[in-house]
A and B are shown apart, each in its own frame.
Chain A
């Protein structure tokens, strides 16, 4: 092999740089996201009404798709009412329906989004609920 020494040193440096994030974060425990649904607005509701527009497991995995379709339905088709699985009607609005119950954006939205490193652009325009600094 020509220039074997240089190539091997180069390879070692390359592998070191590429794996830097792995060994730099090794041993550091990442806090598991723990979104909270115990806002005063939710706790105020009677037990029977304390549920989202769809089941919790569905909302966990599909909320982004649901919100996208709500957005298109409201803005583009002008249809503003959503009928939940139990027949209850909801006003399709992130700012006026979702966040009225989930008034803890930091603990409810950001917790997982930060963990998963996703940056939805909702809050560029939609006004987040006012939260007390904790």
Chain B
């Protein structure tokens, strides 16, 4: 029962055709179970063309002003409090001194006060986000609807290209399982945690926007963080930006951040 090469190639060819044909036949029979007509955006959601935030530094006077915003954010998003090793720290919203936040803007005669003034920093939700360009799985992507640079934790493979690409250090990697670092009474049962081996960052509270609420930090800030639509000339952020001098972190990189600072 020997076959010659000609017969072997025939059988191999026919089985390949059957195999591929079978896969495409099965795929064409399989139907999506959720039809487009069955889903819609939440009716109460806040909508904008491009969300933006203005950080009014003149209103941050005491330690508590910063901490209030940071705690609000880290509480609603179950951000783990990993303090043992600073390299394992996870942060969505945090304080950074002027010389670190605005690299290249410091000069040698800058007053010590400004140089060490802590600025509240977060993901800039860039209009041209370098993290999105490098992500091999599109786990991080820019929402077309409102410009939020989102994280899809289901897709993140933990390669950390985005951390290397982000010029603002806005991304944190979960080197350890974050669960033990979230105390049971602090955890928010309405929001997931993350798992070991994924990158996380500020998502501009997309889950709160969908419910018609402003981001948690904005709500806690008592007016020192202003949130609105950058492409609506009548929005609160646009009114401030058109009346006061504002600056952004590292504009020379061309990432076009959506977080503005005013003094």
Contact = CB atoms under 8 A, between A and B. Distances in A.
Nearest to B195: A124
Contacts of A73: 34, 39
Interface stretch (A11-19, A20-28, A76-84): A76-84
Contact of A76 (B34, B45, B152): B152
Contacts of A48: none
A125 B33 contact: no
Interface residues of B, number: 30
Contacts of B78: 127
Interface residue SS majority, chain A: mixed
Contacts of A39: none
Contacts of A71: 154
A117 interface: no
A66 B32 CA distance: 9
Contact of A95 (B33, B190, B194): B190
Interface string A54-83: 000000001001100111010111111111
B213 interface: no
Interface residues of A, number: 28
A80 B45 contact: yes
A125 B42 contact: no
A127 B192 CA distance: 6
Contacts of A77: 39
Given A65-B33, A125-B192, A125-B193, A80 B42 contact: yes
Contact of A91 (B42, B143, B192): B42
Nearest to B145: A78
B150 A69 contact: no
B41 interface: yes
Given A96-B190, A125-B192, A126-B192, A81 B42 contact: yes
Most central of B33, B45, B141, B193 by chain A CB within 10 Å: B33
A101 interface: no
A43 to B, nearest CB: 21
A79 B39 contact: yes
Interface string B60-91: 00000000000000000010000000000000
B42 A127 contact: no
A69 B33 contact: yes
Interface string B171-201: 0000000000000000101111111000000
A81 B40 CA distance: 5
B33 to A, nearest CB: 5
B206 interface: yes
Given A69-B33, A127-B189, A78 B39 contact: no
A79 B41 contact: yes
B46 to A, nearest CB: 12
Interface of A: 62, 65-66, 69-71, 73, 75-84, 91-92, 95-96, 121, 124-127, 129-130
24 contacts: A65-B33, A66-B34, A69-B34, A71-B154, A75-B150, A75-B154, A76-B150, A78-B41, A78-B146, A78-B206, A80-B45, A80-B210, A81-B42, A81-B43, A83-B37, A96-B190, A121-B195, A125-B192, A125-B193, A125-B194, A126-B192, A127-B78, A127-B192, A129-B189
Interface of B: 32-34, 37-43, 45, 78, 141, 143, 145-146, 150, 152-154, 187, 189-195, 206, 210
The 6 A-B residue pairs with the shortest CB-CB distance in the complex, in nearest-first order:
A124-B195, A69-B34, A125-B192, A80-B42, A126-B192, A79-B39
